[in-house]
A and B are shown apart, each in its own frame.
Chain A
Amino acid sequence: NAGVTQTPKFRVLKTGQSMTLLCAQDMNHEYMYWYRQDPGMGLRLIHYSVGEGTTAKGEVPDGYNVSRLKKQNFLLGLESAAPSQTSVYFCASSSRLAGVPLQYFGPGTRLTVT
């Protein structure tokens, strides 16, 4: 089992460019999440999904869009990147069947917007 994987690991964008981050999990988890990690801010939830075809906003959704066309994949899109979106992005997944859903994290994507 690979667990949770993220593509790419690193990316540098110019302001206004777009990109998509891919998260994949092979644990058959229903729930998936995108967080951003910033110094002094901890991890903040951007968007999440409770199942295929369903997404919802988290704490800091502005400037991001997501899609969950397949159960195992959760995509995070930046339509017009801004320097404020420079961050490390983590994807996570958890199982609906667990009494207390435990989140399993991917290795992160380090994004720099210049």
Chain B
Amino acid sequence: AQRVTQPEKLLSVFKGAPVELKCNYSYSGSPELFWYVQYSRQRLQLLLRHISRESIKGFTADLNKGETSFHLKKPFAQEEDSAMYYCALSNAGGTSYGKLTFGQGTILTVHP
């Protein structure tokens, strides 16, 4: 069974400090990993996905298959980054129908 674990329920940093949100997964096949963000009382939005290897809003994430991790990083946090962050996994296979398995979420608070 596939599983996504986000060990930190809450994470607080000060503005300008580096931030890292941890995500570990267990999956026997070839996974697709995503980070979704949910700002206060808003819908979930895709932040980034590992196959595109892009940087969105200064965030990056690298898939480490050896450590089965997909940690989200930003070198200088901003107050507007305060939100709930979800790591999610999808089976890359054709029968997955795009279903996502989500982690428990991490609430990031960036203090001024």
Bound-state Cα–Cα, A33 to B32, Å: 18
Q: 1/0 per position for A82-114, CB-CB distance to B under 8 A?
A: 000000001010101010111101111000000
Name the contact of A42 in the complex, choosing from B45, B90, B104 (C-beta under 8 A): B104
Most B CB within 10 A of own CB, among A40, A43, A106:
A43
A→B interface (CB under 8 Å): 4, 31, 33, 35, 40-45, 48, 50, 58, 90, 92, 94, 96, 98, 100-103, 105-108
**Which of the listed residues A45, A98, A103 has the most CB atoms from chain B within 10 Å of its own CB?**
A103
Indicate whether A45 sits within 8 Å of B99 (C-beta atoms), given known contacts A105-B44, A105-B45, A107-B43: yes
Q: Find the B residue at minimum CB distance from A49.
A: B97
Cross-chain contact A45 with B43 (CB below 8 angstroms): no
Q: What residues make up the interface of B, taking CB atoms closer than 8 Å to A?
A: 4, 6, 9, 32, 42-46, 49, 51, 86, 90, 92, 97-105
Residue of B nearest to A93 (CB): B98
Contact assessment for A45 and B104 in the assembled complex, using a CB-CB cutoff below 8 Å: no
Q: For residue A33, which residues in chain B have a CB less than 8 angstroms away from its CB?
A: 98-100
Chosen A-B contacts, 21 in total, with CB atoms closer than 8 Å, are: A31-B97, A33-B98, A33-B100, A41-B104, A42-B6, A42-B102, A42-B105, A43-B100, A90-B43, A94-B98, A96-B98, A100-B32, A100-B49, A100-B90, A100-B92, A100-B98, A101-B90, A105-B44, A105-B45, A107-B42, A107-B43
- Let me know if B45 and A31 touch, CB within 8 A: no
When the two chains form their complex, are residues A31 and B98 in contact, meaning their CB atoms are under 8 A apart?
yes
